[in-house]
Amino acid sequence: MEMQAPKGTKDMLPEDAYKWQYVESILRDVAKNYGIREVRTPMFENTELFSRGVGETSDIVTKEMYTFNDKGNRSITLKPEVTAPVVRAFVENRLFNEAQPTKLYYISPCFRYEKAQRGRFRQFHQFGVEVFGSKEPSMDVEVISVAMTSLKKMGLKSLSLNINNLGCANCRPNFNEALKKYLEDNKECLCGLCQTRLEKNPMRILDCKEKKCGEITKNAPIILDYMCEECDTHFTEVKKYLEVLEIPYKVDPSIVRGLDYYTKTTFEILSSEFTVCGGGRYDKLIEEIGGPDMPAVGFGLGLERLLLTLEKEGIEIPKENIFDLYIGARGDNAEMEGFKLANKLRAAGIKCETNHMGRAVKAQMKYANKIGAAFTTILGDDELQNKTIRLKRMSDGEQFEVSLENIEEIANVLK
């Protein structure tokens, strides 16, 4: 029986890997410009981290986590998102004792048991930025700027930013009370899960994907009408900083995101029909996970969804040149010298390939053309005796005669 990858997973083959490398290189370069350093966390964490951090009533915790008991009977979960693990690493390694803010980014696989569909997998990959230590609205906008700058560098033009404010511990209880009162009048029409949420966390109902719940919440109270003075001032300042950077935005009170830890600013960035990026402020998560009372803000961006969006908008990712030179050979001595030459050129930064399949010369040249080698050369007895080779540029057929022993001269032609 032929083995297949598990449902909801996908192999990344060489013909696609260059696209991922291109996107990741842009994300890393932009992060570097903002002084954001990379962090890597384990593939799995103690389950309690996600139930405490992400929220017991969130879809992720209630329906989507890959959770199991290990051989020590400890409950372990493959990470469904990366913010909580990064916060755990921040607290455990006491990075809060360093000069603040702490700016971190990650590129990581995540795991969620959900219906597999185009652009959505059970193993997927996220790029994200998390910034700890600053409560200033300017940091919210800097984080948004990182995301917008990255997406624009990839060629996305039709980007739209939607923002909201989810309030804080001071003003959210009043909103929750008003929301609960409104929803109780429609309780029987809510889905089973949302009927449970009504008692534990009514705001989570606003994020339900069930159509009937969406219809009910259309006319629900909005958090912006219940904000305290501090949250109102913060939101006003966020909008001012966005205007300073000339980033257009729209206030969308329906944005609550799918995670319980958000406070104050939340945002989503859309391109075409897709939400390609989302995030916000989570000022209590560090304390919830056992650290000090310290503010934080960040975002996550799904790489599969991003690549799908680039494809949909007709943005072509430049293909890399796999081989600069194919070294063909006729005869055993030439094969050996070609192998030796390839090794020297690789040390000089030239991407080379030689004959490892015992092909005849004609077949070697066919292969060189198939793999897209920019240049070819053929070594034989004459070339070895004269210590010269001809480099043929495949794009136009022009040839360059160079010394076989002058690696720098050969490299200069190939570059």
Question: Hey, is 107 helix, strand or coil?
Answer: strand
In angstroms, the CA 232 to CA 218 distance is 23
In this prediction, residue 243 carries a pLDDT of 98
In a domain, 252, yes or no: yes
Looking at the fold, whether 293 and 333 belong to one and the same domain comes out as no
Spatial separation of the C-alpha atoms in residues 8 and 116, rounded to whole Å = 5
pLDDT in tens, 58-108: 666 667 899 999 999 999 999 999 999 999 999 999 999 999 999 999 999
- Element containing residue 378 per DSSP (H, E): strand 375-379
Range list of β-strands (E), 229-363: 250-251, 263-271, 274-281, 296-302, 325-329, 352-354
Same domain, 95 and 137: yes
* pLDDT, tens digit (0-9, with 9 covering 90-100), for 280-314: 999 999 999 999 999 999 999 999 999 999 999 99
What is the bridge-based pairing of β-strands 352-354 and 325-329?
parallel
Mark whether 41 and 162 lie in a shared domain.
yes
In angstroms, the CA 368 to CA 353 distance is 9
Residue 336 lies in a domain: yes
Query: Per the domain annotation, does 179 fall within a domain?
Result: no
Tell me which residue has tokens 């803010």.
101
Nearest alpha-carbon partner for 127 in 113, 109, 152, 103: 109
Which conformational region is residue 297 in: left (phi greater than 0), alpha (psi within -120 to 50 degrees), or beta? beta
Question: What would the mean pLDDT of 104-125 be, rounded to a whole number?
Answer: 87
Report the run of H or E that residue 148 belongs to, with start and end.
Answer: helix 137-153
Span 170-198, average pLDDT: 84
Where is the binding site for L-histidine, in residues?
81-83, 112, 126, 130, 257, 261-262
Whole-number average pLDDT of the chain:
92
- What are the pLDDT digits (tens) for 209-267? 788 888 888 888 888 999 999 999 999 999 999 999 999 999 998 887 656 678 999 99
Same domain for 239 and 382, yes or no, is no
Residues 37-59: pLDDT tens digits? 999 999 999 999 988 767 665 66
Does residue 27 carry a pLDDT above 90? Answer: yes
What pLDDT band is residue 34 in, cutting at 50, 70 and 90? very high
pLDDT over 90 (residue 317): yes
Assess whether pLDDT exceeds 90 at residue 169: no
Domain count, the chain: 2
Give pLDDT, residue 58.
61
The CA distances from residue 87 to 19, 130, 133, 191, 299, in Å, are 30, 8, 12, 33, 13
The residue range of the domain holding 272 is: 14-171+227-312
Task: State which of 279, 312, 345 marks the end of a domain.
Answer: 312
Does any domain span residue 293? yes
Which pLDDT score is estimated for 212?
84
Structure-token pair, residue 142: 């800097």
> Could you tell me the two tokens for 312?
């949909």
Q: Is the pLDDT of residue 379 over 90?
A: yes
Looking up residue 344, the CATH number of its domain turns out to be: 3.40.50.800
The answer, yes or no, to whether residue 324 has pLDDT greater than 70, is: yes
Q: Which of 332, 330, 333, 329 is nearest to 352 (CA)?
A: 329
Specify whether 18 is located in the same domain as 66.
yes
DSSP 384-400: HHHTEEEEEETTT--EE
Mean pLDDT on 125-145: 98
Q: What is the pLDDT confidence band of residue 118, given thresholds at 50, 70 and 90?
A: low
Residue 237 sits in the same domain as residue 360: no
Same domain, 361 and 308: no
Q: Is residue 192 part of a domain?
A: no
Tell which wins on pLDDT, 321 or 53: 321
Q: Pick the residue with more confidence: 402 or 184?
A: 402
The average pLDDT across 8-21 equals 93
State residue 176's pLDDT score. Answer: 85
Instruction: Please report the pLDDT score of residue 143 as a whole number.
Output: 98
Picking from 312, 333, 366, the residue at the C-terminal end of a domain is 312
Binding-site residue numbers are 81-83, 112, 126, 130, 257, 261-262
> Which of 257, 277, 312 delimits the end of a domain?
312
H helix intervals, 14-108 = 14-33, 47-53, 59, 83-92
Question: Are 300 and 338 found together in one domain?
Answer: no
Whether 26 maps to a domain, the answer reads yes
Q: What span, in angstroms and rounded, lies between the C-alpha atoms of 312 and 316?
A: 10
**Is the alpha carbon torsion for 205, 208, 212, 217 positive or negative?**
positive
Quick one: pLDDT at residue 76? 96
Report the distance separating Cα 45 and Cα 47, nearest Å.
6
- Strand locations in 27-168 (E): 37-38, 44-46, 66-69, 75-78, 102-111, 123-132, 159-165
Mean pLDDT of 180-200: 82
* DSSP, res 185: T
Residue 8 lies in a domain: no
pLDDT tens for residues 380-410?
Answer: 999 999 999 999 999 999 999 999 999 999 9
Is the CB of residue 391 less than 8 Å from the CB of residue 399? yes
Same domain, yes or no, for 262 and 395? no
The answer to whether residues 243 and 365 belong to one domain is no
pLDDT band of residue 203 (cuts 50, 70, 90) is: confident
Percent of the chain with pLDDT over 70: 95
**Residue 350 clears pLDDT 70, i.e. is over it:** yes
Torsion angle in degrees (nearest 10) through CA of 285, 286, 290, 294? -130
Answer yes or no: is pLDDT of 1 > 90: no
Do 269 and 394 sit in the same domain of this protein?
A: no
**Least confident among 67-76, 118-127, 134-143:** 118-127
The owner of tokens 């004459």 is 382
- 51 plus 143 within the same structural domain: yes
Q: Is residue 1 part of a domain?
A: no
